Structures are given as structure tokens and as C-alpha cells.
């Protein structure tokens, strides 16, 4: 099973709302990622969790708050977003082993619109 699931598929939220994106994988991967992708651009890395600990935060504004409750789940909590945060948010996972770089498996994404 090489599936990464994400919910919801679409989300429209106002600038004062609080919402959460969810991601789940059952491949036993110990690295999980959040990316943001704008139209006609490559994915931009936001956060990386390695063994359920936050490894990398790519200077993401605090209105985005990641959480990794266990090795299979990854959440992204959203609060007080701006219209420019509208994008496709992709979750991915990969194996984690020092000295190697493994392919990432991506979920279908959440298309977020901030009004």
C-alpha cells in the first residue's frame, strides 16, 4: 500500500477561521512533509517531521502550525490565514535512513481557498 490520504480535498475558509488539514500514511514511513504549491510552480517545502519530531521549519509563518500525533498522522492547523495562502497543500512521506535519500509518496492534496 503506497497511499497517502489527505482530508479535506477542498477547503474554503475566512481569514478569521481556524481549520485543520489531515494526512495519514500506513507505509511505516518515519519522515512526513508538508508542502505548499501555487499554480504552475513546484512544491515548496514547509515542514518536515522525522520520527514524529519537527526537523525542519522552512521559516513558515506562525499562522501555520504542524502537529504529528503519531507515526502515521500529520496535521496542519490553520489560523488567521491571508488570501495569499490560497494554494494546494500537499502531504508526503518517505523512508528515513541516514546516508540515503528516498522517494516521497504524496497525497492528493487539499485545495485551500482563503476568502
Distance between CA atoms of residues 36 and 61, nearest Å: 13
- Any contact of residue 65 with another protein (CB under 8 A)? no
- Any contact of residue 57 with another protein (CB under 8 A)? no
- Any contact of residue 111 with another protein (CB under 8 A)? yes
The answer to whether the CB of 62 falls within 8 A of the CB of 79 is: no
CB atoms within 10 A of CB 13: 17
- Any contact of residue 42 with another protein (CB under 8 A)? yes
Distance between CA atoms of residues 90 and 60, nearest Å: 15
Report, in Å, the least distance between residue 108 CB and another protein. 4
- Any contact of residue 96 with another protein (CB under 8 A)? yes
Report, in Å, the least distance between residue 28 CB and another protein. 16
- Any contact of residue 60 with another protein (CB under 8 A)? no
* Residue 1 burial (10 A CB sphere; 0-12, 13-18, 19+): exposed
- Any contact of residue 12 with another protein (CB under 8 A)? no
* The one among 17, 20, 50, 86 contacting another protein by CB under 8 A: 50
* Residue 6 burial (10 A CB sphere; 0-12, 13-18, 19+): buried
Question: Footprint of another protein on this chain (CB under 8 A)?
Answer: 31, 40-43, 45, 48, 50, 55-56, 88, 90, 92, 96-99, 101-109, 111
Amino acid at each position: 500500500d503506497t497511499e497517502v490520504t489527505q482530508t479535506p480535498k477542498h477547503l474554503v475558509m475566512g481569514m478569521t477561521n481556524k481549520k485543520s488539514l489531515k494526512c495519514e500514511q500506513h507505509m511505516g514511513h518515519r519522515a512526513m512533509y508538508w508542502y505548499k504549491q501555487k499554480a504552475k510552480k513546484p512544491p515548496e517545502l514547509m515542514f518536515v517531521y522525522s520520527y514524529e519530531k519537527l526537523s525542519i521549519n522552512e521559516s513558515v509563518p506562525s499562522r501555520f502550525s504542524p502537529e504529528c500525533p503519531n507515526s502515521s498522522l500529520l496535521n496542519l492547523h490553520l489560523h488567521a490565514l491571508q488570501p495569499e495562502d490560497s494554494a494546494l497543500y500537499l502531504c508526503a512521506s518517505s523512508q528515513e535512513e541516514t546516508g540515503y535519500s528516498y522517494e516521497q509518496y504524496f497525497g492528493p492534496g487539499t485545495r485551500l481557498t482563503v476568502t
